[in-house]
Amino acid sequence: MCTGRASGGVYTGTNPDCAKQCVAKGAKIVLIVPDKKRILIVANQAAAKGNIGDYVEVTGEVDPGTKPLRIDSLKMLERAAPCATRPQSSPK
């Protein structure tokens, strides 16, 4: 459910609380790459467990056959806030 927007062409992060709940229920941690319109399943889930829903910079390799991302390093860029608490932009 947390990545369902991508099927409609919207590749953005999700509410971090929702993402954490999905992972707690068994969903795989994924990396959403908006500019490439891709969702990559993280092969080594423990590498990303502390940054679910956050904006991160990742180095690693994507297996060309099965397509999972193996994270070598992960750098926090911005802690995600629940969607309900994000400031709304003013109408133009």
3-state DSSP assignment of residue 35: helix
pLDDT of residue 14: 77
The DSSP secondary-structure symbol of 43 reads S
Return d(Cα 43, Cα 67) in angstroms, integer. Answer: 9
Q: Cα–Cα distance between 58 and 89 in angstroms, integer? A: 29
pLDDT score for 90? 47
| Beta bridge pairs of residue 55 | 78
**Residue-wise pLDDT tens digits, 33-84:** 888 888 899 999 999 999 998 999 999 999 888 889 999 999 999 998 776 5
Q: How far out from the chain centre does Cα 47 lie?
A: 13
Asked if residues 89 and 51 have their Cβ atoms less than 8 Å apart, the reply is: no
- For 17-29, write each residue's pLDDT tens digit: 888 998 999 999 9
pLDDT of residue 86: 44
Q: What is the pTM of this model?
A: 0.76
